[in-house]
Amino acid sequence: MKPLANKRLFLILTVLVVGGSLAALVFSSFTGALVYFHTPAEAVAKQRELDGKKIRVGGMVQAGSLVREAGTLKIRFLVTDGKAQIPVRYDGMVPDLFREGQGVVVEGTWKSGQDFSADTILAKHSEDYVPVEMSEQGIAKSKESLMKSLK
């Protein structure tokens, strides 16, 4: 082989080995960190497949389903998307926005025959949320303040 052909071959092999190693590192690091998001209907449909795996389920806390165990931080409630509902149990502090009828994302494991055991609860606020300063009352105050300054 010519020396130029050897250099090209060496360069191509080096790129393949380094690129393959980087791709393997990226894929192996994502494998343990990925937590998939499901709606309650999807989770119910895939319950056998999801058995014991860490997942996220997002939906609404069903009104009238929240039960607090007296003297503890343990709660039980239903997460629903209107098509299916999942019984959830959680032991810990809940976010301030957590309440019945509110959007929620729970992360944890769901074993067959048991309630969904949540490790984390993320309360979602309405998509119509606007800061207080931007609310109608805030806009009215801003207009009033502006009119006073123009007088």
Q: Is 109 exposed, middle or buried (0-12, 13-18, 19+ CB in 10 A)?
A: middle
CA angle 42/80/41 to nearest 5° reads 15
Model pLDDT for residues 14-72, shown as the tens digit of each residue: 999 999 999 998 878 776 677 788 999 999 999 889 898 999 999 999 999 999 999 99
Which amino acid is located at 7 in the chain? K
The confidence score (pLDDT) of residue 123 equals: 87
The confidence score (pLDDT) of residue 120 equals: 93
Task: Report the relative pairing of strands 54-61 and 36-38 from DSSP bridges.
Answer: parallel
Model pLDDT for residues 102-111, shown as the tens digit of each residue: 889 999 999 8
Model confidence at 128, pLDDT cuts 50, 70, 90, reads low
Does residue 134 surpass a pLDDT of 90?
Answer: no
pTM for this model (two decimals):
0.65
Model pLDDT for residues 78-113, shown as the tens digit of each residue: 999 889 999 999 999 999 889 898 889 999 999 888
Q: Which two tokens stand for residue 126?
A: 């309405």
CA distance between the termini of the chain: 90
